Amino acid sequence: MASQTVLGDLNLDFGSIVLLFITVCAFMVPVAVVLPPVPVRKSDALLQTHTPAGVSKAKSALNNQHTADHAPRDGGSAIVQSLYIYPVKSCRGIEVTRSRVLPQGLEFDRLFTFAQLKSPFPVSLDSSDKDKNQHTWQFITQRQFPLLATIKVDLWLPDEMKLRRQSIKPTREAFLTLRFPWKENGWRGLLSTVAAKLARGAAAQPEKEIMLPIDFPSVAEIKAKGYTFEDVKIWKEVVRALNVSTELPRELMLYLGVSNKLGLFRVDPAGLREVYRCAPLKDEAGYQPVTGFQDAYPLHMLTLGSVQQFSKEVPKDEELKELDVRRFRANIILSGVPAYDEETWKMARFKPGKSGLYNDTVFHVSCRTVRCKMPNVDAITGHRHPREPDRSLRALRNVDEGAPLNGCLGMQLTPLFEVDQTPSSQAKAESGLLGDDNPDDGRSSWVAVGMKVEVEERGKHVYINQ
């Protein structure tokens, strides 16, 4: 009898435990669905006060880039089809519908660049210790590290409505977030994978995130964060810029495959590079043309007609089925232009058209874009094709006597600002920013999707090597 009583008690205890477990699960599952137990990302806080800039993939103006819709129209003008900014050089771009044009290019374009610390090589046996230890920072791109293409960049602009709901004073402070795939080994990697899928869907993968302020930091902030001013080499030019490498996690160097020390530099708005080769003279432009971390010129323009024509002649295979215009990393992409017609342009006026803007924007078409092997990298996957389109560019687009044995596609632009040119009140309101990089000195205009392009001057282009 005693044994039966004990057994009964045990059954009761077990049943209670099962009932308790079911109750807890019934309560926790809905909570987990609404508030999944995942690590909080830095950008999650920005959702309360900021909105990411840019066009979603579903609404991209380039979704039909391979169709005949972009052929020249009878009696029609060329139009701006798409705009891209690249806040971090060689990383994923952001498609926008409009952008402010500054002397150094589109607002927020190429504010940052990655670099690696290089030692002198080769070094002669009789070199001094000073020469042997003379390390230099050299910028890196997808040419050396194609996985840079997979680093996603978001530009977070302050949202007035969100700030008002949060009872926060209006601000112009903006941020960049950089995200790259990263999975730890072992059980940590398993947990991060589960967390990513709970937070962002079944296709999501674990990522690391970096958050950077847009505004150039004050002297106090530079000291507090351990930033330093150092020289960084961009091609053959040496630029003094702000080293913000303390913001980088070690995992990024491992992900990219950079064996040297990895650095991140922020362009100094007071130390922009002056542009002379093929650019308009100061008397013509009204200022000395400048650029930031762009390769050589403030803006790069491509036409879909030229890319489509060239693509027809590029051999395709399993690795390259379509030649995406985004491989060429242009800022301004035009539709309705006959193939290679832009190579005769010397001056182009962008008129409001269907853009919703009120002012014209004028560009000096400075020279052709001499291509390297970077377009071999797929702009989405970061996979580098072993041959194309570099081989076809050199064989079929060797068209500039100033750049023999090199392929050319696209044009480099320098903005020109008319004396009374100021942003419209509507455009000012939609800008959201007017920071240290963007002095309101009258030298700013706007470019937007839907603008019409009128060619005001034509002529011959001859590239000048650096």
Whole-number average pLDDT of the chain: 87
Average pLDDT over residues 123-134: 56
In a 13 Å sphere around the CA of 74, the CA atoms on its Cβ side amount to 0
Q: Are 49 and 283 in contact (CB under 8 A)?
A: no
Q: What pLDDT sits at residue 227?
A: 97
Residue with the two structure tokens 């993939």:
57
- For residue 115, pLDDT beyond 90: yes
DSSP state for residue 383 in the 8-state scheme: P
pLDDT grade for 398, boundaries at 50, 70 and 90: very high
Closest CA relative to residue 451, chosen from 74, 61, 109, 103: 61
Q: Are 297 and 414 in contact (CB under 8 A)?
A: yes
pLDDT tens figures, 439-463 = 446 799 999 999 999 999 999 999 9
Average pLDDT over residues 264-276: 96
pLDDT grade for 206, boundaries at 50, 70 and 90: confident
Q: Give the amino acid at 422.
A: T
Q: What pLDDT sits at residue 171?
A: 86
For every residue of 101-113, DSSP letters joined together read EETTEETTTT-EE
How far is residue 105's CA from residue 267's CA, in Å, rounded to a whole number? Answer: 13
How far is residue 164's CA from residue 444's CA, in Å, rounded to a whole number? Answer: 29
At residue 226, φ and ψ (nearest 5 deg) are 75, 25
Q: What pLDDT sits at residue 13?
A: 66
pLDDT tens figures, 156-175 = 999 999 988 888 888 889 99
How far is residue 258's CA from residue 114's CA, in Å, rounded to a whole number? Answer: 11
The residue with greater pLDDT, 408 or 185, is 408
Q: What pLDDT sits at residue 383?
A: 96
The residue with greater pLDDT, 121 or 105, is 105
What percent of the chain shows pLDDT beyond 90? 71
CA dist 332 → 257, 394, 448 (Å): 31, 23, 9
**42's tokens:** 């830095």
Most distant pair of Cα atoms in the chain: their distance: 110
Q: Which span out of 39-48, 79-88, 206-215 was modeled with the highest average pLDDT?
A: 79-88
The residue with greater pLDDT, 235 or 127, is 235
E-strand ranges in 108-186 read 112-118, 136-139, 152-158, 175-181
Q: What pLDDT sits at residue 357?
A: 94
pLDDT tens figures, 402-438 = 999 999 999 999 999 985 544 443 444 344 444 456 5
Neighbouring CB atoms inside 10 A of 163's CB total 16
- For residue 183, pLDDT beyond 90: no
- For residue 131, pLDDT beyond 60: no
Handedness of CA 240, 241, 246, 252 (dihedral sign): negative
Q: What pLDDT sits at residue 433?
A: 46
The residue with greater pLDDT, 294 or 7, is 294
**82's tokens:** 């798409």
* For the chain, domain boundaries: 50-119+129-458
Q: What pLDDT sits at residue 427?
A: 43
Q: What pLDDT sits at residue 129?
A: 55
- For residue 346, pLDDT beyond 50: yes
Closest CA relative to residue 454, chosen from 337, 285, 357, 280: 337
- For residue 179, pLDDT beyond 50: yes
pLDDT tens figures, 85-103 = 999 999 999 999 999 999 9
Distance of alpha carbon 137 from its chain centroid, rounded?
21
